[in-house]
Amino acid sequence: MSHIHPKTTPIYQTSVFTFDDLNALEQYFEQPGQSYMYTRYSNPNTDELAEQVNKLEGGAGAVVTSSGMSAILAAVLAVCKAGDHVLCAEEIYGGSSALLTKELTRIGIEVTLVPTDSMYKLQPYVQPNTRLLLVETMSNPLLQVFDIGRLAQETKQHQIRLVVDNTFATPVITKPLALGADIVMHSVTKYLSGHSDVTAGVIVCQQQEDLQRVKQVMMVYGLNLSPFEGWLAARGLKTLRLRMRQHSSNALAVANYLQAHAKVEKVWYPGLEEHPHFELARAQGHGMFGGMLSFRIQDDKEAVNRFMRGLQQIPFASSLAGVATSISYPLGTSHRSLSHEQREKMDITAGVIRLSVGIEEPEEIIADIEQALAQV
């Protein structure tokens, strides 16, 4: 069979691999990565995905997991144990916040949420047992952009790890490890896979020590990705650069359109010059600003309902980053678990709509939004 050279890696849809004899088994343990034993440990398809993402992010290695959530879990558990303390940006994906504050606190990890205006001044928040800071390159859903280089300097000063969720930006726009981050993770479900048909996560590490810990956590906790999902995600990844360019240029066109619309009260998009982090986003993102934006119409759920029902092409879906445009409602989905006070503080009010801009023709997207806004 050695003459077969497929251009695309076949799907290794198997839970287990066989050995010829005890010598082959010993070789497996003595030379890691040369052969396979059990898909929970590793599989050619998930290895291919990990290698490709690692290449894009420029790390020492990567580990893929069953979802973005299990990627965050693996990253935190790789560094922290009971009795340790974690810092987390206050404005972050609701699922990340819930994992840290509701679940990891139950197993003895302390968590402090850091307000956005204190992110570069961590001194009051750092304790002797603080191990890491978790942030997003661009925050969900109001697109705050963090200066990764400054955060890296700040975390190094306090000798804590900087863990960056790079899901919204992707390595096409920003490479956090090159800017000084220690660990980068993604929900592969979103842009990396890109077609709304995979649930997966990935963790990329700068240091071998962290990488080995992440691998151990993934294997022992059983956070592995299935071969088929790995294959699909690796397939989607091949067009990431093309897709991100189109997502970004479309989102800028849509943001400009929304900003000029009488029924839109506010638009959050880092590519607008009015955005408080526009210059930083332009420098850190090589002139691209991503495909995610949020905007506010009047703070009335019924108005939002009328807008959603008015859309003919754009569906209401609680995820993001597919090739097709979709909208989401942070108050009712991603940030549902936050208290009323937290939402008010973060400016996530009843009229805020999150838009994941796809790769269709921008005129099509704008036309659908236009006729839906006419219903409001």
Active site residues: 40, 93, 165, 190
Structure tokens at 99: 């994992």
| Dist. CA 185–CA 93, nearest whole Å | 13
SS3 39: coil
Q: β-pairing, 183-187 with 352-356?
A: unpaired
Helices then strands, counting H and E runs in the chain, come out as 13, 11
Q: Which residues pair with 113 in a beta bridge?
A: 88
Instruction: Report yes or no: 179 and 36 within 8 Å, Cβ to Cβ.
Output: no
* Contacting residues for 279 by C-beta, under 8 A, at least 6 apart: none
Span between the terminal Cα atoms of the chain, in Å: 64
Q: Which of 187, 290, 291, 285 is nearest to 236 (CA)?
A: 187
Residue 286's region, left for phi above 0, alpha for psi from -120 to 50, else beta, is: left
| Dist. CA 96–CA 92, nearest whole Å | 7
